[in-house]
């Protein structure tokens, strides 16, 4: 049964684009007229104005010749002026619905939708640049056909404000705490800068703020004043970083049912999406050094979306930003059937660590002799320093990179200052290479290179593996 005739989307996006473009173009014309005298530059500016007019007309024609209608279980789309096409989208083939609404969109009760289709689709992602809220709800209702009772639906609508219908067993799983957002927005360098700020302030507070003229009396105090101003700027950037994170994730919510995840985020500019669990191929847990100290983690999932102009592309979807690590692990393991999080230990084989340290820095001994008995000592000292840095990097890579595997997933942990753990489906593994560098040949060890089809991993290197570990991994790779 047909629900409606072909209709256009809201013209709000076109009007917004045209108004912004016209204002910026008029400002440019004003600047050219009063401040530029070079005729060649003026010609270039006028060509730019013509190009802006072309962009406005392109948006207008794109809107005029984009129409859609909803039929039971299907979305039909007509688009194109010279090259016309009709697209038929079955609701079951839709992987994900993402809603974006800026603060201006909210004022005028419009929103934008992006629909991603299954990976075997050649139609790519479909964009509805601006829709009335009622039309957006009709499209989302087509995708999410089962409805809740009114009380639960109203409660979810007050929080998510996007998806008006859900399956009956939906649950709210997560909303971030403000303190966790603040902690996670701080980098290690900012912590050091803030500490230096307070130390500097204690040294020079007798010159500030009431005796500002005394600052110029000595170079020492003048230097301290500049340092304090610089660190004050870092302190300000820290606060601004928190504000940025809070505007993005302060209103974040995660809901889930048996088949899908639903997320909403944004305080002024709203973004909401639904993610089908079967389309998630990689789960990533990441931690900065500050987040490790406070036992916080960030969990993201990656899905594959088809693109009209290229191959399938990966899409990152935050699901648990700034959450207590143990709480996040419990939620993740309850959500997913296959992408289970497991704790992977560090590699602590002291013999291998000493071997890396000795073999990796063996050439340093020759440079030390050079530095002691021969002139031009700066060059060998530089080489010794580089050798030590490389040796420490190899040790860090050995200790912090480890893996586990099962019949369905590969679980890899890497990094020390910034930890990341990837749980990915074995179906996404393209190649496994075995290699040896010079140090590994001396120590009779091996490295494996695992190539993943999609982001975020692409390539993983795990070094210093024994013959038994390599044989076991190859057998697993042959089975999967």
Residue 2 lies in a domain: no
Whether residue 205 sits in one domain with residue 97: no
Q: Is residue 375 part of a domain?
A: yes
Instruction: Supply the pLDDT for residue 362.
Output: 63
Claim to verify: residue 31 and residue 136 sit in the same structural domain: yes
Sign of CA dihedral 284, 289, 291, 294: positive
Q: Report the SS3 class of residue 23.
A: helix
**DSSP string for 108-135:** TTEEEEEEEE-TT-SS--EEEEEEEHHH
**Listed ranges 50-59, 170-179, 200-209, 292-301; the one with the highest mean pLDDT:** 292-301
User: What CATH number is given to the structural domain containing 125?
Assistant: 2.30.29
Query: Is 301 in the same domain as 416?
Result: no
Residues 26, 106: one domain? Answer: yes
Its sign, for the CA torsion 141, 146, 148, 150, is: positive
pLDDT tens, residue by residue, 344-362: 888 877 877 887 777 766 6
Identify the weakest region by mean pLDDT among 8-17, 236-245, 340-349, 471-480. Answer: 471-480
Backbone φ and ψ for 105, nearest 5 degrees, come out as: -60, -40
* Whole-number Å distance between alpha carbons of 3 and 233: 58
Quick one: 438 and 384 in the same domain?
Answer: no
CA distance 390 to 386: 6
- Domain end marker among 400, 416, 434: 400
Q: Are residues 392 and 268 in the same domain?
A: no
The mean pLDDT of 460-477, rounded to a whole number, is 81
Is the per-residue pLDDT at 461 higher than 60?
yes
Q: Is residue 162 part of a domain?
A: no
Average pLDDT (408-430) is 84
Q: What is the pLDDT of residue 210?
A: 43
Alpha carbon distance 342, 345 (integer Å): 10
| Residue 150, domain member (yes or no) | no
CB count within 10 Å of CB 96 equals 21
b/e 42-71 (16+ beta carbons within 10 angstroms → b): eeebeeeeeebeeebeebeeebeebbbebe
Residues 58 and 98 in one domain: yes
What's the pTM? 0.68
pLDDT at 1 over 50: no
Is 370 inside a domain boundary? yes
Same domain, yes or no: 265 and 331: yes
Per the domain annotation, does 158 fall within a domain? Answer: no
Pick the last residue of a domain from 143, 163, 197. 143
In a domain, 163, yes or no: no
Task: Tell me what pLDDT residue 327 has.
Answer: 92
Give the chain's mean pLDDT: 76
Beta bridge partners of 265: 271
Q: What is the Cα 130 distance to its own chain's centre? A: 25
Choosing from 378, 400, 422, the residue where a domain stops is 400
Tokens of 99: 């809603």
Shared domain check, 139 and 27: yes
Same domain, 201 and 236: yes
Q: For 149-163, 198-212, 287-301, which range has the lowest pLDDT when averaged over its residues? A: 149-163
**Nearest alpha carbon to residue 388 among 410, 408, 361:** 361
Could you say which DSSP state residue 457 is in? T
Parent domain of 410: 403-480
> For residue 150, what pLDDT is reported?
38
For 313-323, b where at least 16 C-beta lie within 10 A, e where not — what string?
bbbeebbbbbb
Asked if residue 101 has pLDDT above 60, the reply is: yes
Number of domains in the chain: 5
Give yes or no: residues 363 and 474 share one domain.
no
Q: Are residues 383 and 365 in the same domain?
A: yes
In a domain, 341, yes or no: no
pLDDT tens for 246-291 read: 888 888 889 888 888 888 887 777 777 888 888 888 899 999 888 8
Is residue 471 over pLDDT 60?
yes
């Amino acid at each position: 049964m047909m629900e409606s005739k072909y209709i256009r989307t809201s013209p709000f996006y076109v009007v917004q684009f045209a108004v912004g473009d016209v204002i910026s173009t008029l400002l440019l014309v004003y600047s050219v007229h009063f401040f530029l005298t070079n005729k060649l530059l003026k010609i270039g500016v006028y060509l730019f104005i013509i190009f802006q007019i072309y962009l406005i007309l392109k948006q207008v024609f794109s809107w005029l010749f984009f129409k859609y209608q909803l039929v039971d279980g299907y979305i039909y789309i007509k688009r194109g002026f010279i090259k016309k096409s009709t697209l038929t989208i079955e609701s079951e083939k839709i992987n994900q619905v993402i809603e974006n609404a800026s603060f201006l969109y909210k004022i005028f009760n419009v929103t934008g939708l992006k629909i991603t289709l299954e990976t075997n689709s050649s139609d790519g992602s479909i964009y509805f640049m601006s829709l009335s809220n009622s039309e957006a709800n009709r499209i989302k209702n087509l995708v999410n056909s089962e409805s809740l009772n009114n009380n639960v639906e109203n409660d979810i609508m007050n929080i998510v404000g996007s998806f008006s219908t859900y399956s009956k067993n939906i649950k709210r799983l997560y909303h971030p705490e403000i303190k966790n957002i603040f902690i996670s927005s701080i980098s290690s360098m900012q912590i050091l800068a803030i500490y230096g700020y307070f130390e500097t302030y204690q040294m020079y507070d007798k010159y500030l703020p009431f005796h500002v003229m005394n600052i110029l009396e000595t170079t020492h105090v003048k230097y301290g004043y500049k340092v304090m101003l610089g660190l004050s700027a870092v302190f300000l950037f820290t606060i601004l970083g928190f504000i940025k994170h809070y505007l993005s994730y302060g209103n974040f919510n995660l809901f889930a049912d048996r088949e899908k995840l639903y997320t909403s985020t944004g305080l002024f500019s709203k973004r909401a999406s639904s993610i089908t669990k079967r389309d998630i191929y990689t789960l990533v847990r990441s931690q900065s050094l500050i987040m490790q100290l406070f036992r916080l983690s960030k969990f993201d999932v990656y899905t594959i979306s088809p693109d009209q102009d290229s191959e399938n592309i990966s899409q990152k979807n935050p699901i648990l930003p700034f959450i207590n690590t143990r709480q996040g692990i419990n939620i993740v393991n309850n959500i997913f059937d296959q992408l289970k999080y497991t704790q992977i230990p560090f590699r602590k084989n002291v013999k291998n660590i000493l071997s890396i340290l000795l073999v990796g820095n063996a050439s340093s001994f020759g440079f030390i002799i050079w530095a002691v008995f021969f002139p031009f000592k700066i060059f060998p000292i530089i080489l010794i320093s580089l050798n030590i840095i490389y040796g420490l990097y190899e040790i860090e890579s050995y200790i912090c990179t480890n893996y586990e595997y099962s019949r369905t997933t590969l679980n890899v942990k890497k990094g020390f200052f910034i930890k990341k753990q990837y749980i990915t489906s074995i179906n996404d593994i393209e190649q496994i290479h075995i290699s040896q560098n010079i140090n590994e040949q001396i120590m009779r060890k091996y490295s494996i290179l695992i190539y993943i089809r999609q982001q975020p991993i692409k390539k993983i290197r795990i070094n210093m593996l024994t013959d038994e570990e390599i044989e076991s991994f190859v057998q697993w790779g042959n089975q999967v």
